[in-house]
């Protein structure tokens, strides 16, 4: 999937992946896509809740044995 910015939150635990995501999204324009890589198992639930609460769109979630990769589309203002 194409993206406009990447945030690497590997090795960080809640709430740091979400905080890094918020910072990354603040640097993007409306409808641009942020890629976030996290190793925190709780981040799946956290990012789903974050997107519902903020209006950003979780486009895709990829998982492997060690990490989760989220593609989040910034909401239109």
The catalytic residues are: 14
Work out whether strand 68-73 and strand 57-63 pair parallel, antiparallel, or are unpaired.
antiparallel
């Amino acid at each position: 999937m194409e993206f406009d910015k990447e945030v690497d939150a590997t090795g960080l635990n809640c709430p740091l992946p979400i905080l890094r995501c918020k910072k990354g999204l603040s640097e993007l324009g409306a409808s641009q896509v942020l890629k976030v890589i996290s190793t925190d198992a709780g981040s799946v639930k956290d990012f789903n809740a974050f997107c519902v609460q903020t209006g950003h769109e979780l486009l895709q979630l990829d998982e492997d044995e060690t990490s989760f990769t989220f593609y989040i589309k910034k909401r239109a203002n």
